Structure 1
Amino acid sequence: MNETKNLLGLARLMKMAFDGKDLSPLGEELIRRIEADPLDAEAMMDLSTLLQLKFQPEVALSIQAQALAQKTLYHLPAKYPGGIRLLSLNAPGDLMTNAPLEFLVEDSDISLHMLYVGEGLTLPAELPEHDVLFVAVGESDGTRQLLEDLQVAVSNWHCPVLNLPQNILKTSREAAPGWLSGVEGVTMPQALRVQREALADLPLPYPFIARPIGSHAGHGLAKMENANDLEAYLASNREPAFHVSPFVDYRSRDGFFRKYRVALIDGLPHACHMGISASWMIHYLNSGMEESAEKRAEEADFMMNFASGFGARHAAAFSGIHRSLGLDYFILDCAETLDGKLLVFEIDTGAVIHAMDPEDLFPYKAPQMRKVFAAFRNMLADHEA
């Protein structure tokens, strides 16, 4: 492959955006590449990713479709050649559609080929040689049929397959609480799918939370304390259907809410981050971690003492969740109730875990994330053909 056609990839582009760099010059360079070579699919894919990072999803997905019409197989070579050859199955879509494996294999000896599959996409005549196949497609309304179809496609694969499609399907907001209902020490409120016109008449006690179907990162998420809240919510959110679930007050004894992101890799839990906020709706980037040395010190303690602290307290819960779901790799967003249970908000194979935070403020994070990435590599090596 010509060097100018190398793929930059999601991890590099998101790091640039995370650091506040102006992506416009790179975008202009990618456009020039495409104008010079309309078959430069790598430039199209990078431009699509860049535009999604700039919150221009419609044009981004249009360019992605043009790239996938050219080719469906993309390659990120290993930093250190000669290691594990990983092939992932991806679906077309936005940045939350697939497991972002690029963050997990950066600066490693893992070579990543990403094959996009789905209706209307042409498979290459030959697949690259690979040691492990990873189904990166995440669960959503848009991917459910693809995951069902992939169950047959991967059932007789010639090498080990990680994250089987039938297990990914268990992670939906509606299905996951049922799969976790028998796991001791775990609580996950049942989510109901409700059409807009039925939401006002839903016999669900207040307070409850609602979000549009398919939304992530807090988009459209709100708590309803009473009928007036619900009326105002429906007036400002015009989506046709919503997920609703009971609100669980998970604040700690000091009045703050704590939300944890934990990766389960080959059945073992690994700390990824912890957000602390006075608000129940915690997202790491809005929880004031950069502004509070006290919060960062608590997160550092959570990470450094995870094996004897949070991880030990919920070891049986994590083990039970892994057994119930059968997934090799997934992310939990969770909390701890006052009575000591693990409160699970979401199970996702597509959540981002990364080492992008500035090391001057978060010196404890990069070492922890290197452990997580090493655990992912060890999992691949243990299953390697």
Structure 2
Amino acid sequence: MNNISDNLTPTSRFLGLAPFLRLSLDDQDLMPIAQNIFQQLEEDSANPELLMNLSMVMQILGDPKVGLELQKQALLLKRTYVIPSVTGKAKYRLLLLMAPGDIAENTPLDCLMEGEEVELIFYYLSEEAPWFIDPIPEHDVAMVGVCESAHHKPMLEALTETLRHWQVPVINAPEYIGVTDRTCASRLLNPVPGIEAPMTFLLERTSLAELAAGETVLSEKYEGVRFPILVRPRDSHAGRDLEKVESTEALAQYLEKVETDEYFLCNFIDYSDEQGDFKKFRIVLVEGNAYICHKATSKHWMIHYVNAGMLDEEAEIKRQDEAYSMMHFNEFIERHGDALKSIYEKTKMDYLGIDCAETKDGQLLIFEIDHVMVVHGMDPVDKFAYKLQPTQKIKDAFNTMVENKIKAFPSDENNS
């Protein structure tokens, strides 16, 4: 994998996100790869695979403006991109329906299925009707990868009708994806026994400004909400502009820094343990069966695996704790099995990620539910060998789900 830049030729195939993310997680410099592809595009500017590969690299490097412009150019040339099976023989062909946009806006399935005997077909829909432009490649199963957002709502509504009579089974039917919206998810899961899902409200900027100015009282306007609160822009991902706000004065300062039309607001729940550590789990539900992706520990309440210091040399105790939780995940399921089962029953999502923690009184604290979370087995094996088996369990569960859906799907003869 580390020689990927040497293997990029003008006729290079579409590589997807996975190999570039792997290099990034291994702290490799992606700039030489970007320069390599730029040079190749000087000779072959209309190569859509190269444009898409460079789009991925630039987004990982933190330049989404250039990355999205490259993607736009690629999609003018073609909208279908294929990652073949590693062996050349595929157990099944999966059509992943994607929305143009940031890498965080679609299910990064190639990161999970890296190295599997499956063919992944990425079809980028149009942003407006007609949603399908290029011919649809032959496939055995379809999956909706588009995330929930106000921008994608018309697309998901159109897909709901289109996919209702699709010729193959569909994973994550579009009519269910709306439940991953933060306000919907909190309303859906807050009443469930064993779950702490802070009620989340969507506010326009003017309403948040009224709270900051003291013109309205937080607890009176939004039942049960009190400082400290968490505030973030509506369509932010990966903690971008997410802050814990302690007072109206701090809220006013936040509004000066973060300007957008709509914000999410909810209570901050202190989930630190007796040592003052915050521990966050990423769980995946595959047809309701729970699997662990990772567990991160930090002294800060806002945890992302990449900023929790899990790769640091001095983080051996953190990794030992994560290894125990991954090897003994049945203990977590014993504590929260009923809650996890309820999440599946209420969302009806075939494949769903859950970022969560455990509260001081043993509740399952839900931060977010979504089908576009990154799930992978790319961490350095020398430090994270304990992740190999749990990650393979997720892959096997996904493969089994797909194969069973294909077998159970009515054939044309049965439909006639």
Assess if the C-alpha contact under 8 Å between 1:104 and 1:376 holds in 2: no
Assess if the C-alpha contact under 8 Å between 1:210 and 1:244 holds in 2: yes
Assess if the C-alpha contact under 8 Å between 2:323 and 2:387 holds in 1: yes
Deviations 1:280-305 (A, max 9, x none): 11111222223321111111011000
- The share of aligned pairs that are identical, in percent, is 38
Superposition pairs of residues 144-293 of structure 1, within 5 angstroms: 144-202=153-211, 203-204=217-218, 205-290=226-311, 291-293=314-316
Residue 240 of structure 1: CA displacement?
3.0
Secondary structure at the counterpart of residue 363 of structure 1: helix
Residue 88 of structure 1: CA displacement?
0.8
Tell me which of 108, 112, 117 is aligned to 1:109.
Answer: 117
For 2:127 and 2:267, the matched residues in 1 are separated by 37
Deviations 1:202-254 (A, max 9, x none): 33221111011211211111111112221221222222321110111112233
Residue 181 of structure 1: CA displacement?
3.2
For 2:145 and 2:205, the matched residues in 1 are separated by 31
Q: Which runs of 5+ in 1 are unaligned?
A: none
Secondary structure at the counterpart of residue 301 of structure 2: coil
Give the corresponding residue for 1:367. Answer: 389
For 2:245 and 2:190, the matched residues in 1 are separated by 25
Assess if the C-alpha contact under 8 Å between 1:5 and 1:40 holds in 2: no
For 1:181 and 1:55, the matched residues in 2 are separated by 35
Residue 124 of structure 1: CA displacement?
5.5
Assess if the C-alpha contact under 8 Å between 1:73 and 1:124 holds in 2: no
Deviates more, 1:86-95 or 1:12-21: 12-21
Are 2:82 and 1:79 aligned?
Answer: no
Residue 154 of structure 1: CA displacement?
0.5
For 1:150 and 1:310, the matched residues in 2 are separated by 36
CA RMSD across the alignment: 1.7
For 1:302 and 1:69, the matched residues in 2 are separated by 46
TM-score, normalization by structure 1: 0.95
Equivalenced residue count is 383
Secondary structure at the counterpart of residue 103 of structure 2: coil
| Alpha carbons of structure 1 residues 289 and 27: separation in structure 2 relative to 1, 3 Å | closer
Residue 328 of structure 1: CA displacement?
0.3
For 2:146 and 2:103, the matched residues in 1 are separated by 11
For 2:375 and 2:194, the matched residues in 1 are separated by 25
Secondary structure at the counterpart of residue 210 of structure 2: coil
Secondary structure at the counterpart of residue 129 of structure 1: coil
Tell me which of 368, 373, 380 is aligned to 1:346.
Answer: 368
Are 2:323 and 1:304 aligned?
Answer: no
Deviations 1:89-142 (A, max 9, x none): 000000101000001221111100011112357746542221111111111222
Residue 262 of structure 1: CA displacement?
0.2
- Give the helix-richer structure, 1 or 2: 2
Secondary structure at the counterpart of residue 175 of structure 1: helix
Assess if the C-alpha contact under 8 Å between 1:85 and 1:131 holds in 2: yes
Q: Which runs of 5+ in 2 are unaligned?
A: 1-8, 212-216, 219-225, 408-416
For 1:260 and 1:125, the matched residues in 2 are separated by 39
For 2:90 and 2:278, the matched residues in 1 are separated by 45
